């Protein structure tokens, strides 16, 4: 049986944590998480990166619906694990917890570094 890590809930959880870790705001909505995630993955298309982390695809915008579902699943799992916290003023917003910060700090590599740089740039746009 082939393992599916790419576009899996686990990969989405890591990206959600990276988005929240790099957010300059106290807490952000699931829609903002999705938007920053998408822009960070396809940074070349948005002028914030030299390349797209998931390659060049003419179908990238059609991925948004499935990414929204994956991000929502990831958020629920991360809340249950205590890695992110829910802030419920002006609707539901999320922020990374101290446990989440410790957890995500153990993930270092080229992908997470580029994604984090892209996320910072996306928040500045």
Query: What span, in angstroms and rounded, lies between the C-alpha atoms of 82 and 110?
Result: 26
pLDDT in tens, 68-118: 999 999 999 999 999 999 999 788 999 999 999 999 999 888 989 999 999
Alpha-carbon distance 109 to 8, whole Å?
A: 18
Q: Is residue 61 assigned to a domain?
A: yes
- Residues 76 and 78: their CA atoms lie apart, in Å, by 6
pTM of the entire predicted model: 0.88
Could you tell me the CA-to-CA distances from 40 to 5, 21, 67, 90, 108 in Å, in that order? 18, 13, 13, 25, 17
The answer to whether position 12 is within a domain reads no
119 near 18, Cβ under 8 Å? yes
Assigned domain for 3 exists: no
Q: Give the range of the structural domain holding residue 50, as residue numbers without chain letter.
A: 17-124
Total structural domains within the chain: 1
């Amino acid at each position: 049986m082939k393992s599916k890590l790419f576009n899996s809930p686990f990969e989405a959880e890591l990206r959600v944590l990276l988005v929240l870790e790099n957010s300059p705001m106290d807490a952000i909505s699931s829609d903002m998480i999705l938007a920053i995630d998408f822009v960070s993955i396809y940074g070349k298309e948005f002028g914030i990166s030299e390349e797209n982390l998931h390659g060049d695809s003419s179908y990238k915008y059609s991925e948004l619906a499935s990414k929204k579902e994956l991000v929502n699943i990831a958020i629920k799992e991360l809340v249950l694990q205590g890695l992110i916290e829910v802030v419920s003023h002006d609707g539901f917003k999320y922020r990374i917890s101290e446990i989440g910060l410790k957890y995500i700090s153990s993930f270092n590599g080229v992908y997470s570094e580029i994604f984090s740089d892209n996320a910072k740039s996306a928040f500045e746009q």
